[in-house]
Each structure stands twice: as structure tokens, then as C-alpha cells.
Structure 1
Amino acid sequence: MMVVGVAGVVLPVLPGLPLTFAGMVLAAWAGGFEQVGWVSLSLLGLLTLLSVVVDFLSTALGAKRVGASRLAIFGSVIGTFAGLFFLPLGLFVGPFAGALAGELLHGRKVGMATKVGLATWVGLVAGMVLKVGLAFAMLGLFFVAWFY
């Protein structure tokens, strides 16, 4: 579960770090909570909650910062899922194209729509980078608790 969860950090279809956390709880339970106790699991749970907040806010804040419409945000979500069919390039092009299309449907000019698309993409990438950092922090904390 942990490996699939870590893959979910960059694949938006999977609930990355929550799935990783579930795997960690399962491993702690399998070990009788002897190696990994409630303090470690509580910290891991807080990091998981932080990852969920980062996930929701990163793209939205990037888009809202430049005045994106709801259609652009909706388009970026649709573009992200559509991009999964064109891995790995689709993960980067999909959100941009979706936000761009949403802004164009909203009636914005191409220049503004492109700016919104780029801001949405930057927010998505920044969120991904933060989630990768959180994933490594969680894995490190879990393995330190397990082995020491």
C-alpha cells in the first residue's frame, strides 16, 4: 500500500499520501504497534492531513492568484484526469490545457487564458513537489520508528 501511495503522489487518480498512511497503519498493526506507536502514527497522520490540504490548495491558489474562473479550475481538474491517458507528458499538459480551455469557454482572451493555464500548472507542480517532500518525510519517520 505504501508503494502504491507514493506513486499516487504524482498520479492524481490515487489518493497518494492517505494511501501511504493507511499502509503505515497496517504495517504498525501487523507489528503489534511495538515498533511504530501512537506518537509516530499521530505525526504521520498530521503529515497526511497536511498533504491533503496542500493537494487541494496548490492548484486552486495558483489559478485564483491570477483571477481564474470556476470553469478554469474545473477545466484543470478535467485536464489532469484526461492527461492520465497520455502519461507522462499528459500529467503536465493536461492541467494547463484544461485551465486554458475553461478560461476560453468563460470568454477570456487567449493571453489571459494562457496566463491562467500557466499559473494553474505552476500550482500543480508546486503542490507535487511539496507532496513528494512530505512523502519522503513520512517514509523517513516511519522507518526511523520501525527500526530504532
Structure 2
Amino acid sequence: MSAGLLWALSALLIVVGVAGTVLPALPGTAFVLGGIVLGAWIDDFTRVPVWVVVLCTVLAVLAWVLDYVAGLMGARRAGASKQALIGAAVGTVVGLFMGIVGVLFMPLVGAAVGEYLARKDERQALQVGVATWLGIMAGLLAKVVLAFMMIGIFIVALVF
């Protein structure tokens, strides 16, 4: 395969990865990392050294962890019950089948329903649902920022 085709594939992986940071069911930072690794490999890690790939890998792992932990941290901070956490997880899975709106808002609904079933307190249920949603949004924002940091580090290493 020619170097031009490989560079095009590297760029495509990165673009799909950026889209995947906000779209459901696409492992965004994994695609970005794949594009970076491919780009570094194309010229035998001469312009993009191994330490850059390692740094981008660390950022990708951090983004993945934050994506999963942020919603739980928001729920825990609001004093969520175990049922609320299960509800948020169920809401996330159900939301995957509803598109971007479902992915963004079904964890809130699931957490609120789970909390209401556990404590029969509407105010607490709403508070837990909103806190879970805010945590998920913070995780999403962190994932997007980390993906762009990865891309920036890659571009700087590639160009300079």
C-alpha cells in the first residue's frame, strides 16, 4: 500500500475518532489513537517518535476512564442509591438505540427512575438524575478535549 493511501487512512481514522467522541457506539479516542499510531508507523517513528505515541496512549486511556467514571462520580456526589446507578446504566444502554438524544438524556432518566424506585422521593430522584447527567456531560467534554490534545501533540510532532 502506498504512503499516500496510508496517510489518508490515518487521517480518516482521526476524523472518525473525533466524530466518535460525541457519537454513540463509536470508540472515538481509540480511532484517534489508531490514526496516530498508523501515522507514526508510516515513517518508522522518525517524525513521530514512540514517546509521542505513548503519551497519546495515556491520554486515550484517561479519556476512556473519564468517560465511564464521570457519570458515576456525578451520581455518587448526589448521594445516588445502587438502584440509581443501575438505572443510569440501563438508561445508557437503552439510549444507544435512540440516537444522540437518547445517549445524552436516557442516563438521566434511568438514574432518576432508579432513585425514585429506591427512595420514593421525587426531589432526590431529580437531583440524582441531573447530577448523573452533569457528570456524563463533564466526561464527554473531557473526552473531546483529550482527543484534540492527542491530535495536537501528533501534529506538532509530525510538523516540527
- Tell me if both proteins adopt one fold, taking TM over 0.5 as the criterion: yes
Residue of structure 1 in register with 2:152 after alignment: 140
The reply on whether 1:78 has 2:90 as its aligned counterpart is: yes
Residue of structure 1 in register with 2:4 after alignment: none
What's the TM-score, normalizing by structure 1? 0.89
Q: In structure 2, do the counterparts of structure 1 residues 124 and 33 end up closer, same or farther at CA, with 3 Å as the change threshold?
A: same
* Structure 1 residue runs of 4 or more that deviate by more than 4 Å after TM superposition: none
Deviation at 1:12, TM superposition (A): 4.1
The reply on whether 1:10 has 2:16 as its aligned counterpart is: no
Contact 2:24 2:99 in 1 (8 A): no
Deviation at 1:10, TM superposition (A): 1.6
Q: In structure 2, do the counterparts of structure 1 residues 70 and 5 end up closer, same or farther at CA, with 3 Å as the change threshold?
A: farther
Extract unaligned runs of 5+ from structure 2: 1-12
Contact 2:83 2:115 in 1 (8 A): yes
User: What is the aligned-residue RMSD (CA, Å)?
Assistant: 1.7
Tell me the percent identity: 43
Contact 1:13 1:81 in 2 (8 A): no
**Whole-angstrom CA distance in 1 between matches of 2:137 and 2:40:** 32
Contact 1:12 1:81 in 2 (8 A): no
**Whole-angstrom CA distance in 2 between matches of 1:80 and 1:37:** 38
Deviation at 1:105, TM superposition (A): 2.7
Larger Rg: 2
* Number of corresponding residues: 148
SS in 2 for 1:35: coil
